[in-house]
Structure 1
Amino acid sequence: MSTTFPPPQRIQIIGASCAGKTTLGRTLGERLGLPFTDLDDLWWSPGWIEAGHDDLRRRLEPLSASPAWVVSGNYFASSEPVLWPRLDWLIVLDFPLGLLTRRALWRTVHRAATGEPCCNGNREQWRRLLHRDGVLRYTWRTWATRHARYRSLADEPALAAVQVTHLGHPAEVATLLERLPVAALPAEAPRLRTSDAPDPA
């Protein structure tokens, strides 16, 4: 794991559900003084209504054109064509399935029990705990395919000019954060939500 500083200005964090993409993205935004966006907030409207990739791409275009940003989330059909041509640094959180399963179970139960909002104000429900499209079963269903791709991302032509950092355990994330500089003047890191995004044409 090697990272060259001064840090890049356009960063995307990808990984499985419950890998800690949002937490790391928000931390990087605060530490580096860069605006932070969680793609889940752009994808999900209240009531768990999905935006779709056409709308998400439209919402990402003005963000991509700005000089500096931190984005957390996958949504590859949208992020690859819009963000990757401008990307400086791709951070891949590729954690073991057992760890992700424990995190997914705890997070879903915690959010359902407390009513903690997520994804642009939506709330988890008990009936989604073992739902086919719930976080837990979605993680099981997609882990192997994503794990295989994550390990080969550094060789993808579209990322030839991008610094790719592959992290396989939370301890490696902690090590990375220890090496980060702190912005001289801490900046607000606004989160772009669906309501802030331009209306699709």
Structure 2
Amino acid sequence: MDARFGVAPLLKAAFGVNTPIFIPWAFQKKLPPKLKFDDVEFNIIEESDRKSWMGTPIMFSGSFLGENYNVYDKKTGELEKVSMSNFDLPAATVFQFRRAKNLVRTNVSGANGTVKELYGFDDWVIDVKGLILDEPNQTAKEQLEELIKWQELADSISVSGDLFETLNIERVCINEFEFNIPQGTPGVIAYTMTMLSDDPLEF
């Protein structure tokens, strides 16, 4: 059975997110013959840091950068090093960033309002919602298995992407991870993550 739904309705069904993301010829692993995107003009999109397997631009994508990371040995429980390769988060992924200030408010007797003392900024909290889709060279299941390996790391992860660079986020920790398979949509896996920014502190 081949699902014939666009990405936007799937994102809305899975997360309640309305977004203008469309995949023509939904979930087919091969493009129609003689199809070219060379003459397509993008008036709003000036540039993108990544392209999908169809050659269309992906705006504000995110990637985990490969290096040696700490992971717990499942038998001994001790930390060991594992080498990870670069991993691009699925194309149909949306990010939401939020951050609080570390404020101490003191009530003032006989006056309105409070005295605020700013001690710094809290971590960025990054809510990630996306769909993992079958692609010509990799199934949704294979992509999920790779993503789970990243989730199992006992370490902060180096990240790249326009949004992360704009906010000066170089490393993140995966705090929560969840996935499910939407009913009646083979080759589609919905996933969510909550990540926290991680800044190296030198004492």
Normalising by the smaller structure, the TM-score range is: under 0.3
When Rg is computed on C-alpha atoms for both structures, the one with the higher figure is 2
- What TM-score do you get using the length of structure 1 for normalisation? 0.27
- What TM-score do you get using the length of structure 2 for normalisation? 0.27
Which one scores higher on RCO, CA 8 angstroms, separation ≥ 6?
Answer: 1
The structure where strand makes up a greater share of residues is 2
